[in-house]
A and B are shown apart, each in its own frame.
Chain A
Amino acid sequence: MRSALAVLTVVAALVAFWYAACVPMNIRGTLVEVERAGAQVVPPGAAQRRGMGAWGLIARNGFAVPATWAQERPRLPAPHQVAVELWNTTAMKKITSKRSLVFHGWVTLSATLLGFVIGTGLGILLAVGIVHSRVMDMSVMPWAIVSQTIPIIALAPMIIVVMYSVGVQGIVPKAVISAYLSFFPVVVGMVKGLRSPDAMQLDLLRTYNASNAQGFWKLRLPASMPYLFASLKIGIAASLVGAIVGELPTGAVAGLGARLLAGSYYGQTVQIWSALFAAAILAAALVGLLGLIERVTLRRMGMA
């Protein structure tokens, strides 16, 4: 109960801060609108107000404050505006509609999941190779690290253009970008996990004259499970980011990335924010789902 209260307090504080921030962010636009609607604004005329600070305008035009939370195209939409938009574009729309966030969310999610599967598979394979081969450890690991230092926003258009030129488009290029981001945490986590058995455990297998393959399946792989799940949680979030970034440079018409882009083209800040929140909720759901699978798996393995 106490912790619930603390959590709610933090949430309330954030929401309050958000509402407060809307006022100075939106005051200029709001004053233009209310003036046009016939209200008395001090000082009158947008040109007069240009040199004034936001706080000064608020102090002289207190009546306009509620209107800063109800603009059509605010600089910063108020929380309830985002919530209403989210509700309208999910629950109130058919999921086949081009305006439904469920539809756009699914487009992004499918690329995310495909990329996540590819990235995880690749990551595990690389980790197995790195753990078993010193040559791979020295030749692959540096490249894996370098690959993550390149900003994905610079790389994504190239991947899409290159793949388009060889006739691949649609979900696959986005999934490749997702995989590019998600394989790395899996490699790092799995290398650590596969190396987690201590010298004594390895000596024990040696006294049994166990083969490398037996050591892998019976000791290294099960021992790496907690590390794998930690990596998967990072990987799935990175995958989602990858899929969204993959939708930006193509001018894609569908997906959360496309909603973000379209929103910024047309100044639809409410749409941008609701797409952002949809992405955040999706990521939280995916990480939560993995956490659930982790708990069940590790409990069944007797490790949690």
Chain B
Amino acid sequence: MTRTSPVIEAEGLDLTFQTNDGPVHALKDVSLTIGKGDFVSFIGPSGCGKTTFLRVMAALEQPTGGSVTVNGMTPDEARRSRAYGYVFQAAGLYPWRTIAGNIRLPLEIMGFSRKEQDRRVKDVLQLVDLEGFGGKYPWQLSGGMQQRASIARALSFDADILLMDEPFGALDEIVRDHLNEQLLALWKRTGKTIAFVTHSIPEAVYLSTHIVVMSPRPGRITDVIESPLPQDRPLDIRDTAGFLEVAHRVREGLRAGQSHDD
């Protein structure tokens, strides 16, 4: 991959967890460059290390070998400088805070002024299409709306990088389609760099500029597919030949990774 300004660069990354059942090789010799403004999906069966890789970028896990930089810094420096927003599989909103209060949480922690907090909360609520829901409590919102609120929370402090760990994994197909469309629009509007973990092939193909196919035991990258699809992607692009071709290649990559140990 040759792109001008790399945002995340991993080189020969290794990570081995020591567990009671012996060492688990979660990542083996993973090298990848993510450029500015890319939308990169990580796809693979469970245990392939896609979430672990994302957590390494976020400095939530320490690699046991190799190097990784985020915005030219170590992941931990990037975390300290609040270079990324992280979205988890569960919305994880505080039940005792309203939606606006939840979005305000990182802003409070980072010491934004009250006025600035209000402005940003208003902005990101608009960005995820939740205007008018700021005063509601999480339990008053549907699962999809809660996840949108958690994305708004990750966007509120305007980090350049968005790390998303199966954010729509727990939602039903219809809601997921809708959120995919919204996420794509949001990405286009904000120009953020997004790393997105998923186990859905259509989701990965629909959203990404680059699809990273991974396989388990040990977790490694088997293929990196640069999507030929145009920037503008209505939902029905998924029925076009171009889309199906990319999806086919992803499926091939997943199959190739699996045959390795079956």
Any A CB within 8 A of the CB of B234: no
By the criterion of a CB under 8 Å from any partner CB, how many residues of chain B are at the interface?
Answer: 26
With A204-B88, A205-B109: A302-B97 Cβ-Cβ less than 8 Å: yes
**Chain B nearest CB, measured from A82 CB (Å):** 45
Give every chain B residue within 8 A of A218 (Cβ-Cβ): 105, 108-109
Any A CB within 8 A of the CB of B82: yes
**Number of A-B residue pairs at CB separation under 8 A:** 52
B92 near A200: Cβ-Cβ < 8 Å: yes
Any B CB within 8 A of the CB of A208: yes
* Interface bits B188-205 vs A (CB < 8 Å: 1, else 0): 000000000000000000
Any A CB within 8 A of the CB of B58: yes
**In A209-251, which residues have CB < 8 Å from any B CB?**
209-210, 214, 218-219, 222-223, 225
- Inter-chain CA distance A218–B102, complex, in Å, is 10
- Inter-chain CA distance A152–B102, complex, in Å, is 46
- Inter-chain CA distance A301–B79, complex, in Å, is 30
**Chain A nearest CB, measured from B10 CB (Å):** 18
Give every chain A residue within 8 A of B97 (Cβ-Cβ): 302
Any B CB within 8 A of the CB of A207: yes
A208 near B94: Cβ-Cβ < 8 Å: no
With A222-B96, A302-B95, A303-B95: A207-B86 Cβ-Cβ less than 8 Å: yes
Any A CB within 8 A of the CB of B84: yes
A207 near B60: Cβ-Cβ < 8 Å: yes
B106 near A208: Cβ-Cβ < 8 Å: yes
Any B CB within 8 A of the CB of A206: yes
Output the residue of A204, A223, A303 with the most chain B CB within 10 A. Answer: A204
Give every chain A residue within 8 A of B58 (Cβ-Cβ): 207
* Interface bits B40-57 vs A (CB < 8 Å: 1, else 0): 000000000000000000
B90 near A200: Cβ-Cβ < 8 Å: yes
Q: Which residue of A lies closest to B140 (CB)?
A: A302
Give every chain A residue within 8 A of B137 (Cβ-Cβ): 302
- Inter-chain CA distance A179–B104, complex, in Å, is 39
Give every chain A residue within 8 A of B106 (Cβ-Cβ): 208
Any A CB within 8 A of the CB of B17: no
B109 near A214: Cβ-Cβ < 8 Å: yes
Which of A206, A222, A302 has a CB less than 8 Å from the CB of B98? A302
Output the residue of B84, B88, B139 with the most chain A CB within 10 A. Answer: B88
With A206-B60, A207-B58, A302-B139: A201-B92 Cβ-Cβ less than 8 Å: yes
Any A CB within 8 A of the CB of B85: yes
- Inter-chain CA distance A218–B82, complex, in Å, is 18
B85 near A301: Cβ-Cβ < 8 Å: no
With A218-B105, A218-B109, A302-B137: A207-B84 Cβ-Cβ less than 8 Å: yes
**Chain A nearest CB, measured from B115 CB (Å):** 20
Any A CB within 8 A of the CB of B110: yes
**Chain B nearest CB, measured from A116 CB (Å):** 25
- Inter-chain CA distance A204–B88, complex, in Å, is 8
Q: Which residue of A lies closest to B80 (CB)?
A: A209
Give every chain A residue within 8 A of B94 (Cβ-Cβ): 219, 222-223
- Inter-chain CA distance A214–B105, complex, in Å, is 10
A-B contact pairs, 11 of them (CB 8 A): A200-B92, A201-B92, A203-B60, A205-B109, A206-B60, A207-B79, A207-B85, A219-B94, A301-B95, A302-B95, A303-B96
Q: In the complex, given contacts A205-B109, A302-B98, what are 15 additional A-B residue pairs having Cβ atoms less than 8 angstroms apart?
A: A207-B60, A207-B85, A207-B86, A208-B105, A209-B80, A209-B82, A209-B109, A210-B109, A214-B109, A218-B108, A302-B95, A302-B96, A302-B97, A302-B139, A303-B95
